[in-house]
Amino acid sequence: MTHTTAPLEGKSAIVTGGSRGIGLAIATELARRGAAVTINARKAEPLDEAAEQIRAAVPGARVLPVAGNSGDPATRAGIVEQAVAAHGGVQILINNTGINPQIGSLMEMDPVAALKTFDVNVVAAVGFVQECYRAGMKDSGGSVINVASIAGLRPAGPLAIYGASKAALIKITEELAAQLGPNIRVNAVAPAVVKTKFAELLYAHDEAAVAAPYPLKRLGEPQDIANLVAFLAGDESSWLTGETVRIDGGVGTTGSFG
């Protein structure tokens, strides 16, 4: 296989939850590897700022920010439509948007919050795949990467509902891979704690203590996830589909959730 400095040149990607953290790192890395990138988040201002950050990091990057609630079917259709109009199609979809409004015991579960969690973390992800499929990925082929969590692979304590939604996303990844091959590959990544604003409550009180059970003795950085996702998006992983890749600094080997 020929390796180039821009292995995703000519590809168009959508990254949901792309205004900060893991999503922003993924979008930047995809752009660095040559892809045209459409980023989505709910609020326009931070999304526009993220687009400028990508352009600053990758001169000449083609970046389209499209604000809107990914939990809304009409919004999903509009995001994909604009990506196709701007970049000629969609070959890469990164389902990164995730919410966690419910923290606590399952005995304290708020059904409304639980339904919202599954709607955004699972249903919206499938919805984006449907839209990309109808918009041309069915024929052009492509790669879908779902950002799951180590919480979807083991008991997650007070993050149980979030973990259950990520477990569902992992199952959906397998089902989509079985249904959409050979033209479309579908994989997932399952990070442990990554140093983002979204995860601050899990580590900000004592980062060293939280990282102590990790064999690599540090928490994840957004770029760690971005590097893996970019690999899964490209042709170097062309015989890989239906997999969930745990990326957790080794904490999964210790029996600790981290």
Domain of 221, CATH number, reads 3.40.50.720
pTM of the shown model? 0.95
Give the Cα separation of 24 and 250 in Å (integer).
24
Q: Is residue 207 part of a domain?
A: yes
Give the Cα separation of 35 and 47 in Å (integer).
18
Q: How many CB atoms lie within 10 A of CB 28?
A: 27
Q: Which distant-in-sequence residues (6+ apart) come within 8 Å of 45 by Cβ?
A: none
Q: Which residue bears the tokens 């957790």? A: 248
Parent domain of 148: 12-245
pLDDT at 1: 41
Q: Is residue 160 part of a domain?
A: yes
Q: Is residue 28 part of a domain?
A: yes
Single out the residue of 68, 101, 69 nearest to residue 201, CA to CA: 101
Instruction: Write out the E strands in 43-141.
Output: 63-67, 92-95
Q: Which distant-in-sequence residues (6+ apart) come within 8 Å of 17 by Cβ?
A: 23, 40, 41, 70, 96, 97, 98, 147
Give the Cα separation of 173 and 153 in Å (integer).
13
Q: Is residue 256 part of a domain?
A: no
The helix (H) or strand (E) run that includes residue 77 is helix 73-87
Give the Cα separation of 93 and 132 in Å (integer).
8
Beta strand pairing call for 142-147 and 184-191: parallel
Tokens of 93: 């979809």
Distance of CA 44 to CAs 3, 15, 59, 109, 149, Å? Answer: 36, 15, 22, 32, 26
pLDDT at 203: 82
Tokens of 1: 């296989």
How many distinct structural domains can be found in the chain?
1
Over residues 149-158, the pLDDT tens digits come to 999 999 999 9
Over residues 116-149, the pLDDT tens digits come to 999 999 999 999 999 999 999 999 999 999 999 9
Query: Which letter does DSSP use for residue 54 in this model?
Result: H
Q: Which residue bears the tokens 């997932």? A: 188
pLDDT at 200: 80
Catalytic center residues: 162
Q: Is residue 250 part of a domain?
A: no
Mean pLDDT for back-to-back runs of 10 residues, the chain (258 residues):
75 98 98 98 97 98 97 97 98 96 93 97 98 97 98 94 97 98 98 88 85 94 98 98 97 72
pLDDT at 257: 57
Q: Is residue 86 part of a domain?
A: yes
Give the Cα separation of 38 and 190 in Å (integer).
23
pLDDT at 131: 98
Q: Which residue bears the tokens 């609020």? A: 43
Single out the residue of 98, 64, 94, 69 nearest to residue 81, CA to CA: 64
Q: Is residue 81 part of a domain?
A: yes
pLDDT at 2: 45
With beta carbons less than 8 A apart as the criterion, state whether 36 and 62 touch.
yes
Q: Is residue 7 part of a domain?
A: no
Q: Please, which residues bridge with residue 143 across strands?
A: 92, 185
